[in-house]
Structure 1
Amino acid sequence: MKGSDQVKRLPVIFLRYIVFFIPAIILSVMVWNHYQDDLSDGKVTENNVKRIFTFDEGERVVSAVSKDQQLHVEMYDPHLGKRISGWTAASDPFQEMWPSIQGNNLLLAFKNKDGQLIIEKLSPNGEKKELAQQKLKIPSFLNTNTYQWNGRLVFTGEMEGAAAVIGELKNGQFYVHNLNELKLPARPVSMDAVMNSFRGQTPIPIFEVSLKNDQKAYVSGISNEKHQLGLYVSKNAEPFSLVDDAVEQQLQKTIGSSQNFAVAAESEYPKRARKVKADGRLGEVVPTPKPIYQTYVYQLNEEEVLIAGSTAKDEAKGKLTGYIYNHRTNKAVSASKLFQSLSYESLQRDELSFNKNVKSNWLYYSFNNQLTGAYETKSSQLKEFPLQKIISIENASPAHQTSFDTFTQYVMKGGPLILNWAIWLFIPLLLFVLAIFLPPILRLVRKNKIKDSVTLQAYIVSVKETGTYINEQPVVSMRLQFEYEGQSIEKTVKTVVSYTQIPQPGQRIVIHYDPKKQKAMLLKEGDFSQPSEPKFIKGAVLRKIESYGTVGRGTVLSLTFELDQKRYVIPMVQAAGFDFRTGEKADLVDINGQLKMAAYGYEVLNRSGKDVTLTGIIQRVKQYPVAIHEQKPVQLDVTVSSGDQSITKTVTQFIPDHMQVAAGTQITIQTKKEELERENALLQEKQGSAKVSKVEFAGVVGNLPLANIQIERNGMMYEVKQPIDPITSVLPGDELWVAYHDMTRQAVIVKYASI
């Protein structure tokens, strides 16, 4: 009958909401027209493209497009005419970039909005990886602080705690050289490239570094195979021109001579390319098959240069040509074909760049946003891609066509029109659907939540009215406290209550708790979930001890116990002066799958007395950056109340590494009734400082080692026997603040005064 009634109600429900769809239809037409206009506006124009690059033997083209004050990087397969991938670069408003092709990857350097260097490594398959992870800060423009050398990119900047840093991009990897780590007589305060050092004036690029004591240091702009920089420290504040020979000789001892510039152009007419002698002077003309004049020399790598220029002494009468010259083999290969789309004036532009790896036959070039290409030296094959071809590929991509994906992206941009459309379309539709399907969905959801939950007892910490009413009944917010897997947890739940049955703080109630989602629900009629009972594992033998570092004075350990051919692993902080030993036994407890130490050591295992559980309030939390088995140690100052007495204890516990514990949280602490009474009685006695003379351990109670401590105060010896915090620990010579009894010579620690 219920199903039949629901079917009969459908026409009534539909008529109730149909009036809302009339404005939705009108708005839908407006949205569609605006979406089509947006697609047209989103297409790339010549003015949008900042740079274009080629790599992967001409099989991949990359464009950098400036749109909406952001820099978008797009990768294409130019032969298939399709877009492979794209993303938004974290570029600053100036959108500067430096390219380099190393191996089979394109590397692009940017400066982000925070002034930090960003280097993206682009693979032919469209994958992107960021190389510069050290947060190197560029103090000025990227172009001002970037240099090229033999296919490498060199950056100067700053890092936190370092006044001068050199970043080096070579062999597809990024290396940071902190000048503070060099053997300098004083702190570096500024760094500048030696004039024309990166243009062949010196055999190795050199930076002049001013030190705090006014001395000068000279550092190589590149590193050797071991990623070491060359260094020369001037005795006085001598300029480079006075010590250049000594500097170059010293730096070459570290870097070697394989990086030398081997070819340079004459400064006078007709500006032919000549070999550079060992003393830095120009020697014979480079033996190219045909003479080349008015030359420009581009360093490609440590072996090769590109010599570009005119076939005639007067470039206005000649043709643009070029050769790739290997100064080690003394051979020149024609590259004139790649200049067929360039002009002589383009050689004078900084936007023209060339890249070639030593072992590759492919030479890559890029000229601003107008042209890019790849040239194969063996076969003289040229793959050239002008700007218009790249634009046509981009605008033909699915990103600029009518489709479900582009419409979704358009809607996600938002705006007043989309907002109104959503209100008049989605909200009525949602209400219509919810009216039909929400009740059974809620029943199914609750059933699934209960299936994955456990039933626990919880205390009501506080109850507050929210100001919301449902059917004239108040909705209250209840703060609940309960324990799960040995941890004290607080959660807030909301529920509708009757004015005559408002829950009260301190009242115990039954809840459902989902440990995966860390959510609590109140138990409802018909719900059922089986709570987990603690399982004690008595007499487990310690087989393996692993260290995970120190926290305070303690050592974080992973202890592996064995019993009946089963292994149990628990985290523990070992106090200074105490050692866990393999072969010894312990009692463990398994609470909802989480293992904890119950007792360790012969004296502790055989301790008599009645166990009591106390509730404490956390006053202070100190966390440590150590994770072990998805748990982390925390040190807590906890105030525990027993009768009219309040005791503040420092304890260490392990909590799940995703959980946060805050001051004010309630936790439970277990102890013996006799020990609690003895400690309360001593706290009524005198208090004062005392010095530790001897520390021994009887074992471990829970997470805390049980210590026997001898202390001395005013020439009198007292005995302390109590669990201590393992992170703080107690060592001979420590000063403690204790409560003591002059007759019994018993004492108890009130505060670890030495820490």
Structure 2
Amino acid sequence: MKKKRALSLANLVFLIPVILLSFFMWNDYKRYIENIDDYLPSLERTYMLDGGKKLIGFSNDDRFGEQYDVYLFDTGTETIIKKTAIRTNFQSGLGPAAYQQDGIIIPTYDDTLGLQLNYFHSTGGVEELAQGTMHIPSAWSSSIYSWRGRLIVAGESPGSEWYVAQVKDGKLDKVNLGEKGLLPARPVRVDEVHGSFKNDQAVPMFSVSLKDDRTALVSGILDKKGDLSVLLEKKDEGTFAAQDRAGAHFAKVFGFNNAKLVRENGNYPEEASFYNANEKQWGTAVPTPKPVYQARIFLLNDEELLIAGSTAEDELNGTVIGYVFNEKSGKFQDATVLLEQLPYENLENSETEFHKQLGSDILYYRGGDLAAGYVDMEIQKAKVFSKDQVEGWMVTEDETKVSLQSFWNYAKQGGAIIINWAVWVFIGLFSFLGLAIAPRMLVRSRMKKMRAGQHIQARIIDMQESGLYVNEQPQVRFIVQFEDEGQRKEVEIKQVISYLNPIQIGDTVTISYNRKKHKAVFITEEDLKHAAQESKPVLIDAVLTRIEHYGKVNRGQALQLHFTAEGRDYPVPVVQPFGFEYRTGERANLILIQGMVRIFRYGNEGTVKTSDQLSLQGEIIHMQKMPIIIEHKQLMLLEVMISRGADRIRKANSLFVPENLSVNVGTVIPVSMEIDDLQKETRLLQGKQGAAKVLSVHFEGTKGERPLANITAEKDGVIYQIKQTIEPVYGVEVGDELWIAYDEGTREAMIINYSSR
């Protein structure tokens, strides 16, 4: 009887804080309802669609910063039709927009997939046009242009191939500037011709610097066949003269009137005027139905532009007025019913946009003030929606008053009160279930799951709190992606984590995966240390039976080697440098670690001892994605700083990395080195350094996937011997000039930097 009273009293003690916290939470919840506007998602951009019937908004309130939430609204009912998400990296933002075929294309950038061309249809569907084929530099937004309804991209692929791409009518076309016959020499740099995308020229253009020191001008747009127009700058021709000549040539090729361009005239009162670019002469003012002063020009499509400005010569004394002008027919459409709702300052804002598809009477507007609007010029109906107005559509009536929906939204915000209330409720429930039995059951279950699965590297692609708390720590629902037996898979894992644990989307983790049940659990650092003590890597004696070729990489060749052992095929991707050759029929020692196979030694008769290997850590200080992917593995060239105590060694190391794994500068990766190699390289790095010329190169198989080379090099008349593994992406050839560390006494040396050839 006494035990029952003690148990009841203990449960009552747990309920006291629950009751108090419930009172505090109720008051906090009512304050949340009163200030609901402070908790709404913030829209970064809004655009009109479907003739003004729909509006699309973009929000980047995701705390991990790796996606934009995209809302499609019905402007008639002021409700959300659909919510989707598009990928982006941490700080990329949104690129310029283009309306095409009753939809809109908005670029974003993702570190893994590169440029994303997101094509939003007015029906709510979205498709991505680039499909991971357009990797451009991190300053990506400066390489993308919106011009007369097209999207133009100029960039350099990871393989140093310059290209110009165009999206028109929902179709992506791409031209490699290095294709044979297009240019007389290899392109080495591409720059926008200043002002050509801002109506200084009839057709935008790029200046292409060639390897032979000549300059070519190429059109910024493609013709119906998907081709560029090219013009070479003459030897004694000035830069501006060449650009003017190219402007006239490109205008003729693409059907624009270079003698009658519509431009902003800088002379007060700044009416839009015709300009003859061939003769460099200004013509008369464009005869708009009513005068438009302080005019600004917005290019819309291949035939039309918007002339917008003030009704008065001094814009402070007038209102905004404007007309859509068809340059071919000479006809005007009045857009004033929309423009008169805007302050004149919006016309001078660099973020203000106007869009119109040829043949449509709808003119769309997006302002730097985050407003969006449209005008139907046939019936003279216009509407402008402010950012605050649209964000108000994201709240239903139930969310603005006491209801289950608003309480759930409040709870999802988290906060100290919610967390503590949930913790104490959980403690109360936990006390009834048995504090002594549950932990032991959880430990046994977890250990059983770990023993039943395969240890695999995975990447977190999504994570959300489940709403459950254990010891004031949240349970999180993770979605991880990984590669197993050549297939890309995803699995859900629920794990209680600490708020101090900096886990985030994109992190690489180790899991134990049960193939039969398609379930997995995380493996902690302590688990890995324990597993490393109990498990040993497996060495496999195999024969090279087949070689697949995947193209050139710098001075090497990308290969997929197929080794056979006991009737099983083991594929290993490698880079073969010049002067070294993998041959079928030769034997190799492979090493199998946690389901991954790599070459331990090939073509080298030395004794195989894994005990001679040191397990070190290396920090990635620079990385470059190479244009080779073999079975979902991306070739990356990494510069790694290896540390052991006070000693530091920098190495170039190419590696085929599964596409689902995130590798970035600052990532720490495991590195294996033989003890003798580490000691020799550490010793040589403490000596002198300098340039040396390669006299001979001989190979003795490989260590790992790196060929082992015997190199003779000459510096200042002295011969030095280099015996080390080389980076196959760079390779070493006779005549190369290397930067070496050397010992004048022993005449030993090692490579620090490879030839720049």
Q: 1:25, CA displacement in angstroms?
A: 2.8
Q: Output aligned runs, 1:518-533, within 5 Å.
A: none
Q: 1:124, CA displacement in angstroms?
A: 3.1
* Alignment-derived partner of residue 188 in structure 1: 188
- Asked if 1:60 corresponds to 2:60, the answer is no
In the alignment, is the contact (CA less than 8 A) between 2:209 and 2:215 conserved in 1?
Answer: yes
In the alignment, is the contact (CA less than 8 A) between 2:210 and 2:216 conserved in 1?
Answer: yes
Alpha-carbon displacement from aligned partner over 1:597-622 (angstroms, at most 9, x marks no partner): xxxxxxxxxxxxxxxxxxxx995359
Counterparts in 2 of 1:306 and 1:46: CA distance versus 1, 3 Å: farther
Larger radius of gyration: 1
- Asked if 1:273 corresponds to 2:272, the answer is yes
In structure 2, what is the Cα distance between the partners aligned to 1:554 and 1:112? 31
In structure 2, what is the Cα distance between the partners aligned to 1:155 and 1:118? 12
Q: 1:127, CA displacement in angstroms?
A: 4.0
In structure 2, what is the Cα distance between the partners aligned to 1:11 and 1:180? 86
- The one-letter code of the counterpart of 2:17 is P
* Alignment-derived partner of residue 669 in structure 2: none
In structure 2, what is the Cα distance between the partners aligned to 1:22 and 1:307? 70
Q: 1:81, CA displacement in angstroms?
A: 1.8
* Alignment-derived partner of residue 228 in structure 1: 227
SS at match of 1:289: coil
- The one-letter code of the counterpart of 1:106 is I
Q: 1:227, CA displacement in angstroms?
A: 2.7
Q: 1:377, CA displacement in angstroms?
A: 1.9
* Alignment-derived partner of residue 297 in structure 2: 297
* Alignment-derived partner of residue 151 in structure 2: 153
Q: Where does structure 1 lack aligned partners over 5 or more consecutive residues?
A: 1-8, 454-484, 486-512, 521-547, 557-569, 579-616, 624-630, 639-645, 647-656, 658-755
Counterparts in 2 of 1:89 and 1:62: CA distance versus 1, 3 Å: farther
Q: 1:91, CA displacement in angstroms?
A: 6.2
SS at match of 1:394: coil
Task: Give the TM-score normalised by the residue count of structure 2.
Answer: 0.52
In structure 1, what is the Cα distance between the partners aligned to 2:310 and 2:93? 34
In structure 2, what is the Cα distance between the partners aligned to 1:183 and 1:225? 20
Counterparts in 2 of 1:369 and 1:190: CA distance versus 1, 3 Å: same
- Asked if 1:168 corresponds to 2:166, the answer is yes
* Alignment-derived partner of residue 620 in structure 1: 591
Identity of aligned residues (%): 27
* Alignment-derived partner of residue 336 in structure 1: 336
In the alignment, is the contact (CA less than 8 A) between 2:307 and 2:324 conserved in 1?
Answer: yes
Counterparts in 2 of 1:72 and 1:417: CA distance versus 1, 3 Å: same
* Alignment-derived partner of residue 210 in structure 2: 211
* Alignment-derived partner of residue 740 in structure 1: none
Counterparts in 2 of 1:337 and 1:252: CA distance versus 1, 3 Å: closer
Q: 1:105, CA displacement in angstroms?
A: 1.9
- The one-letter code of the counterpart of 2:76 is H
SS at match of 1:226: coil
Counterparts in 2 of 1:553 and 1:218: CA distance versus 1, 3 Å: closer
In the alignment, is the contact (CA less than 8 A) between 2:178 and 2:187 conserved in 1?
Answer: yes
* Alignment-derived partner of residue 98 in structure 1: 96
In structure 1, what is the Cα distance between the partners aligned to 2:424 and 2:154? 56
In the alignment, is the contact (CA less than 8 A) between 1:138 and 1:156 conserved in 2?
Answer: no
* Alignment-derived partner of residue 15 in structure 2: 21
- The one-letter code of the counterpart of 1:372 is A
Q: 1:362, CA displacement in angstroms?
A: 0.9
Q: Output aligned runs, 1:59-458, within 5 Å.
A: 59-64=53-58, 73-83=70-80, 84-85=82-83, 87=85, 90=88, 93=91, 95=93, 97-110=95-108, 117-132=115-130, 133=132, 134-139=134-139, 142=141, 144-162=142-160, 164-181=162-179, 183-194=183-194, 196-236=195-235, 239-248=238-247, 251=250, 256-258=254-256, 262-277=261-276, 279=278, 281-283=281-283, 285-313=285-313, 315=315, 318-369=318-369, 371-396=371-396, 404=404, 407-408=407-408, 411=411, 414=414, 416-430=416-430, 432-433=432-433
In structure 2, what is the Cα distance between the partners aligned to 1:553 and 1:389? 57
In the alignment, is the contact (CA less than 8 A) between 1:355 and 1:364 conserved in 2?
Answer: yes
In structure 2, what is the Cα distance between the partners aligned to 1:65 and 1:116? 20
Counterparts in 2 of 1:278 and 1:370: CA distance versus 1, 3 Å: closer
Counterparts in 2 of 1:237 and 1:15: CA distance versus 1, 3 Å: farther
In the alignment, is the contact (CA less than 8 A) between 2:41 and 2:61 conserved in 1?
Answer: no
Count of matched residue pairs: 502
SS at match of 1:20: helix
In the alignment, is the contact (CA less than 8 A) between 1:216 and 1:238 conserved in 2?
Answer: no
Q: Output aligned runs, 1:406-555, within 5 Å.
A: 407-408=407-408, 411=411, 414=414, 416-430=416-430, 432-433=432-433, 515-517=516-518
- The one-letter code of the counterpart of 2:72 is M
In the alignment, is the contact (CA less than 8 A) between 1:73 and 1:89 conserved in 2?
Answer: no
Q: 1:292, CA displacement in angstroms?
A: 3.4
- The one-letter code of the counterpart of 2:52 is G
Q: Where does structure 2 lack aligned partners over 5 or more consecutive residues?
A: 453-484, 486-513, 522-547, 551-557, 572-582, 603-607, 609-657, 659-757
- The one-letter code of the counterpart of 1:204 is V
In the alignment, is the contact (CA less than 8 A) between 1:65 and 1:72 conserved in 2?
Answer: yes
In the alignment, is the contact (CA less than 8 A) between 1:215 and 1:237 conserved in 2?
Answer: no
In structure 1, what is the Cα distance between the partners aligned to 2:343 and 2:598? 69
SS at match of 1:24: helix
Q: 1:338, CA displacement in angstroms?
A: 1.2
Counterparts in 2 of 1:572 and 1:371: CA distance versus 1, 3 Å: closer
In the alignment, is the contact (CA less than 8 A) between 1:50 and 1:369 conserved in 2?
Answer: no
In structure 1, what is the Cα distance between the partners aligned to 2:196 and 2:274? 17
Q: 1:367, CA displacement in angstroms?
A: 1.7
In structure 1, what is the Cα distance between the partners aligned to 2:33 and 2:411? 12
Counterparts in 2 of 1:212 and 1:310: CA distance versus 1, 3 Å: same
Q: 1:256, CA displacement in angstroms?
A: 2.3
* Alignment-derived partner of residue 630 in structure 2: none
In structure 2, what is the Cα distance between the partners aligned to 1:402 and 1:162? 59
Counterparts in 2 of 1:157 and 1:554: CA distance versus 1, 3 Å: closer
- The one-letter code of the counterpart of 2:239 is F
In the alignment, is the contact (CA less than 8 A) between 1:91 and 1:112 conserved in 2?
Answer: yes
In structure 2, what is the Cα distance between the partners aligned to 1:392 and 1:201? 41
Counterparts in 2 of 1:23 and 1:378: CA distance versus 1, 3 Å: same
In structure 1, what is the Cα distance between the partners aligned to 2:434 and 2:53? 52
- The one-letter code of the counterpart of 1:197 is S
Q: 1:249, CA displacement in angstroms?
A: 5.5
In structure 1, what is the Cα distance between the partners aligned to 2:382 and 2:5? 70
Task: Give the TM-score normalised by the residue count of structure 1.
Answer: 0.53
- The one-letter code of the counterpart of 1:76 is F
SS at match of 1:98: coil
Counterparts in 2 of 1:170 and 1:12: CA distance versus 1, 3 Å: farther
In the alignment, is the contact (CA less than 8 A) between 2:190 and 2:206 conserved in 1?
Answer: no
Counterparts in 2 of 1:162 and 1:33: CA distance versus 1, 3 Å: farther
Q: 1:297, CA displacement in angstroms?
A: 2.0
In the alignment, is the contact (CA less than 8 A) between 1:264 and 1:276 conserved in 2?
Answer: yes
In the alignment, is the contact (CA less than 8 A) between 2:218 and 2:229 conserved in 1?
Answer: yes
In the alignment, is the contact (CA less than 8 A) between 1:355 and 1:363 conserved in 2?
Answer: yes
Counterparts in 2 of 1:210 and 1:37: CA distance versus 1, 3 Å: farther
In the alignment, is the contact (CA less than 8 A) between 2:192 and 2:206 conserved in 1?
Answer: yes
In structure 2, what is the Cα distance between the partners aligned to 1:89 and 1:31? 35
Instruction: Select between 293-302 and 128-137 the one with higher mean Cα deviation.
Output: 128-137
- The one-letter code of the counterpart of 1:257 is G
In the alignment, is the contact (CA less than 8 A) between 1:298 and 1:354 conserved in 2?
Answer: yes
Q: 1:379, CA displacement in angstroms?
A: 1.4
In structure 2, what is the Cα distance between the partners aligned to 1:221 and 1:438? 67
Q: 1:384, CA displacement in angstroms?
A: 2.5
- The one-letter code of the counterpart of 2:516 is P
